[in-house]
Amino acid sequence: MRYPVDLVIRNGTVVTAARSFTADVAVSGGSIAVVDTDLSSLAATAHDVVDASGLLVLPGCIDVHTHTRVASDDEPDRFFQDSVAAAFGGTTSFLAFNNPGTGSSAKAHRSILAGIHEFRRATASDSAIDFGLSPAILGGMVDPLGELAAMVDAGVPTAKAFMVFDFRLADRTIFEAMRTLGQRGGMLEVHCEDPVLIDAAVASALQRGNTAPRYHASTRSTGAEAVATHRAVAFARAADAPVHVVHLSCAEALRYVAEAKATGVRAHAETCPHYLTLTEERYDEPDPLTCARSLISPPLRSAADRDSLWDGLASGALDLVATDHVADRLAVEKAGAAQGVPFDKISNGAPGIETLLATVFDGGVARGRITVERMVDLLATTPARLFGFDRKGAIEVGRDADIVLFDPEARRTIRASELHHTSDYTPYEGLEVGGAVRSVFVRGTAVIRDGAFVGQRGFGKFVERGTAGA
Ligand code: MN
Ligand code: MN
């Protein structure tokens, strides 16, 4: 440790995945140096002392599922701005996908390694918080399997394959990618929806003239998600490799993940705040543009599904929560919904990068569905371990000092007008939540202080990650 230390956070309640306790936290050189009951002597000479009385001292959230868009000529601030939004919400690291629509070039759609190079160049001095990349493995790539070893060696041990959409990957390639990554210490993430069932349902709806946004939801059944999830975990079993099921939305799919785990498969799964907070009633909305706010894949499900996801988070059947943030705007990407554009031609996704901790704390901890320790596990400790963020994810000596000071007694109402993301709406408009982020530190440096942004563009580093899926 260097003396004097840089920062001492005093009198807060430190929360780890295992327990909560009152302690002081000293930070030196960007890392957590000491966690102890009374660090008044270190505080006396520290450069900065923060009183966290009455506050929770949480490890910063790690959002492993975002579709943040890299800067473009027209929108040079969008990547930076969404990183600022993440910080306001208590997130200190995020992973981006570089699928089509996120500003990636045609070259990146043909080669994973070209995509990594391009992403790193585009984001090198652009983020307020730490971040990384999970490349999308696209159907049109020249030799994606041949690039996986070099990808992992470049500090990028995870990638996402899609069973659906134009850039879907064939099942055989998904299986081979899973096996190759598993052998190298990597992990494949899979978007599980059955392409045959969904294509057929979409075609049939369109043929009947059912083109409104609500039919997006009715054509993407829980059964289609479940059968695809079953296949993905079966692949993981046969390949003896880990798999990460992204954005799991329903009880029917969850059952297959739980069964696989129980029989020793390294099957991991995330769900998202929207499936934990909202239900398919949103699609009863007659106005197509309002309905398109919730046009996401998989779609919102029933209240019973929502409840079973909370149970899965509590029991361990689900491993983590991530946002699936897409900064779509009603005025731009979703606008076609108001002009009668069919649902299959409207952009999928909804914003969420700033509301992860708010929704999980309120829906989970404040309502007694999960403990605060489990929340820390789901939002920081497990995402760090599964995705290879070796220095992050816990208030623990030697880890990066990525710290959130959180007031559990505060109450606030979520309003798009008060958020900082690059979307023009939030699915949680008007939702009253318990808890509020007060200050956020990344590697010991304040990014949010008493609710105000004090960070710097480019302070956030690209994180080269270690082994994933362990
Ligand atoms: Mn997806
Ligand atoms: Mn996604």
Residue 240, C-beta contacts closer than 8 angstroms, at least 6 positions apart: 179, 182
Residue 255, C-beta contacts closer than 8 angstroms, at least 6 positions apart: 226
Of the ligands numbered here, which is closest to the C-alpha atom of 162? Answer: 1
pLDDT tens readout for residues 91-114? 999 999 999 999 999 999 999 999
d(CA 27, ligand 2 centre) in Å:
35
% of the chain beyond a pLDDT of 90 = 99
According to CATH, where is 2.30.40.10 located in the chain? 7-57+398-408+432-453
Of the ligands numbered here, which is closest to the C-alpha atom of 167? Answer: 1
pLDDT of residue 173: 97
Of the ligands numbered here, which is closest to the C-alpha atom of 101? Answer: 2
d(CA 67, ligand 2 centre) in Å:
6
d(CA 6, ligand 1 centre) in Å:
41
d(CA 180, ligand 2 centre) in Å:
22
Phi, psi of 51 (to 5 degrees): -90, 120
Instruction: Name the architecture of domain 7-57+398-408+432-453.
Output: Roll (2.30)
d(CA 138, ligand 2 centre) in Å:
14
Q: If you average pLDDT over residues 123-130, what whole number do you get?
A: 98
d(CA 169, ligand 1 centre) in Å:
13
pLDDT tens readout for residues 137-172? 999 999 999 999 999 999 999 999 999 999 999 999
Of the ligands numbered here, which is closest to the C-alpha atom of 349? Answer: 2
Q: If you average pLDDT over residues 405-432, what whole number do you get?
A: 98
CA dihedral 96, 79, 74, 139 (to 10 degrees): 0
Distance CA 148, CA 169 (A): 15
Position 3 confidence tier, pLDDT thresholds 50, 70, 90: confident
The CATH T-level fold of domain 60-387 is TIM Barrel (3.20.20)
pLDDT tens readout for residues 252-278? 999 999 999 999 999 999 999 999 999
* Residue 463, CB-side half-sphere exposure with 13 Å CA sphere: 28
d(CA 65, ligand 1 centre) in Å:
9
d(CA 51, ligand 2 centre) in Å:
38
According to CATH, where is 3.20.20.140 located in the chain? 60-387
CB–CB of 309/275 below 8 Å? yes
d(CA 142, ligand 1 centre) in Å:
22
d(CA 430, ligand 2 centre) in Å:
24
d(CA 32, ligand 2 centre) in Å:
32
Task: Write the DSSP symbol of residue 454.
Answer: -
pLDDT of residue 469: 96
Of the ligands numbered here, which is closest to the C-alpha atom of 98? Answer: 2
pLDDT of residue 327: 97
- Tell me: pLDDT of 436 over 90: yes
Position 2 confidence tier, pLDDT thresholds 50, 70, 90: confident
Of the ligands numbered here, which is closest to the C-alpha atom of 297? Answer: 1
d(CA 324, ligand 2 centre) in Å:
5
235 by Cβ neighbours in 10 Å (0-12 / 13-18 / 19+) ranks as buried
pLDDT of residue 48: 97
pLDDT tens readout for residues 351-403? 999 999 999 999 999 999 999 999 999 999 999 999 999 999 999 999 999 99
Average pLDDT over all residues of the chain: 98
- Tell me: pLDDT of 1 over 90: no
d(CA 378, ligand 1 centre) in Å:
19
Residue carrying the six token digits 């070209």: 114
Position 470 confidence tier, pLDDT thresholds 50, 70, 90: confident
Distances (CA, A) of 462 to 5, 126, 129, 209, 470: 25, 10, 9, 47, 21
Q: What is the DSSP string of 174-219?
A: HHHHHHHHHHHT-EEEEE---HHHHHHHHHHHHHTT--STHHHHHT
d(CA 246, ligand 2 centre) in Å:
7
Q: Which amino acid is at 186?
A: G
pLDDT of residue 456: 98
d(CA 224, ligand 1 centre) in Å:
14
pLDDT of residue 460: 98
% of the chain beyond a pLDDT of 70 = 100
